[in-house]
């Protein structure tokens, strides 16, 4: 039977090293192949993922592109490659959609982190202006905007005056990380998993950990999983200034095959962020029976409900106190673990992709969002 539509997926950020977005794209493609054998899919990839990528179905084709995300080639060259494929629809899984591509689009916006925490790349007026131009037109041109939480939806409505009906909240899923026989050589430890950027509040976490050692006499280490980012030297500086080199372990980026070992051997998982759009790390921890202690920010409160213990991310003393409560009180710890197992039942990659596919069909049929 002749395919009904040709759908593109901008998969340039595919891969585990792209953290949440790469994971999102991976599951999106995996389950689209399971649920849709009718439409054709064009998967746009950069090297080295292009060479590694295995087509999941006969109705999938991979296309190599060279325009890196957040580059000028993304805006100038990439639209021609998309147009060449004569797509009926393209899904951009991040806000960075080319302004000069005029085809029908769905866009996923995971959060508004760049607005609140611009990062080192936004160090000039022109870069900031360019970013907001891309963000604005991405939202304006999209037929539908997919977000992973009501918190992100509220932010988009507040700052971009977008119509309610244009935004669809679709919760993301959680996979239990694959079992591993490895055991990190850390002894008893508290675990952080994520990037080293200012919105993650690692400086606050290190200060809280110092309070745990000095005030509460806690006998454990802190593992900061994630690749060190030299653009944020204040993280390492805080660690050194407090003389915590022997107490804090920095294993770098943790491959997917080793993640479960780090989770399983941790006393608890801490998420100290100032801002998030979802909470995948916390859900992964819950799936492996680990208590989660985290910031009381809107997205995390929405996603975790009563299955986590919350603290004020601006207050290292409060952070330390809440972590200590879980470390010392077995009843609190077991209660969080039990609630965590219940909470993760609400999240499914399969359900996410089924609803996303429904949105594709709605947009293709009705031309929504005009």
The model's pLDDT over 186-215, given as tens digits with 9 standing for 90+, comes to 689 999 999 999 999 999 999 999 999 999
Q: Give a yes or no: residue 168 inside a domain.
A: yes
State whether 209 and 97 are in the same domain: no
Measured CA to CA, the distance from residue 73 to residue 165 in angstroms comes to 32
Residue with tokens 């400086």: 203
Whose structure tokens read 């759009």? Answer: 277
214 and 86 assigned to the same domain: no
pLDDT for residue 86: 95
User: Which segment of 1-5, 68-72, 155-159 scores lowest on mean pLDDT?
Assistant: 1-5
- Is 224:192 a contact under the CB 8 Å cutoff? yes
CA distance 256 to 258: 5
- The verdict on residue 181 lying in a domain is no
Neighbouring C-beta atoms of residue 161, cutoff 10 Å: 8
Q: Does one domain contain both 317 and 200?
A: yes
In a domain, 1, yes or no: no
Which backbone phi and psi does 264 adopt, to 5 degrees? -65, -30
CATH of the domain at 117: 3.40.50.2000
Longest dimension (CA), the chain: 70
103 belongs to a structural domain: yes
Which is higher by pLDDT, 61 or 138? 61
The reply to whether 91 falls in a domain is: yes
What's the CA gap between 7 and 21, in Å, rounded? 19
- Residue 183, classified by CB atoms within 10 Å of its CB into exposed (0-12), middle (13-18) or buried (19+), is exposed
Q: Which of 9, 12, 18 is nearest to 65 (CA)?
A: 12
User: CA of 16: how far to CAs of 26, 61, 79, 226, 308, in Å?
Assistant: 8, 21, 26, 12, 25
C-alpha–C-alpha distance, residues 238 and 52, integer Å: 39
Residue 184 lies in a domain: no
* Number of domains comprising the chain: 2
Look up residue 44 and give its two tokens: 């746009």
The answer on 106 and 11 residing in a single domain is yes
Tally of helices (H runs) and strands (E runs) in the chain = 15, 13
- 368 pLDDT higher than 90: no
Domain annotation covers residue 312: yes
Give residue 286's domain range. Answer: 189-346
Do 91 and 137 lie in one domain? The reply is yes
Name the phi and psi angles at 364, rounded to 5: -65, -35
State whether 234 and 354 are in the same domain: no
Note the pLDDT of residue 370: 41
Give the per-residue pLDDT at 369: 43
Predicted confidence at residue 16, as pLDDT, reads 58
Tokens of 370: 């005009």
| Whole-number average pLDDT of the chain | 91
């Amino acid at each position: 039977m002749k395919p009904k539509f040709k759908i593109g997926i901008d998969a340039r950020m595919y891969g585990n090293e792209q953290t949440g977005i790469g994971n999102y794209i991976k599951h999106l493609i995996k389950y689209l192949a399971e649920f849709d054998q009718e439409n054709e899919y064009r998967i746009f990839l950069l090297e080295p993922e292009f060479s590694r990528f295995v087509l999941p179905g006969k109705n999938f084709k991979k296309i190599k592109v060279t325009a890196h995300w957040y580059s000028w080639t993304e805006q100038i060259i990439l639209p021609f490659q998309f147009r060449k494929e004569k797509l009926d629809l393209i899904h951009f899984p991040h806000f960075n959609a080319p302004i000069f591509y005029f085809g029908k689009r769905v866009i996923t916006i995971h959060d508004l982190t760049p607005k609140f925490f611009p990062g080192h790349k936004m160090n000039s007026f022109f870069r900031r202006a360019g970013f907001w131009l891309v963000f604005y037109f991405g939202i304006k041109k999209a037929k539908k905007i997919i977000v992973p939480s009501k918190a992100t939806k509220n932010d988009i409505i507040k700052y971009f005056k977008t119509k309610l009906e244009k935004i669809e909240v679709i919760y993301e899923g959680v996979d239990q990380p694959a079992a591993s026989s490895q055991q990190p050589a850390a002894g008893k430890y508290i675990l952080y998993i994520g990037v080293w950027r200012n919105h993650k509040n690692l400086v606050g976490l290190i200060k809280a950990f110092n309070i745990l050692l000095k005030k509460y006499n806690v006998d454990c280490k802190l593992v900061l999983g994630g690749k060190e980012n030299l653009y944020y030297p204040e993280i390492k500086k805080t660690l050194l200034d407090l003389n915590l080199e022997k107490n804090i372990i920095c294993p770098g980026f943790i491959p997917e095959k080793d993640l479960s070992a780090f989770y399983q051997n941790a006393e608890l998982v801490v998420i100290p962020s100032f801002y998030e759009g979802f909470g995948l790390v916390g859900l992964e921890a819950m799936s492996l029976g680990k208590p989660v202690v985290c910031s009381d920010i809107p997205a995390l409160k929405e996603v975790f409900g009563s299955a986590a213990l919350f603290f004020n991310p601006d207050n290292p003393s409060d952070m330390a106190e809440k972590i200590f409560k879980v470390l010392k009180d077995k009843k609190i710890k077991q209660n969080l673990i039990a609630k965590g197992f219940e909470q993760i039942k609400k999240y499914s990659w399969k359900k996410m992709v089924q609803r996303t596919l429904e949105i594709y069909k709605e947009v293709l049929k009705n031309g929504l969002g005009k």
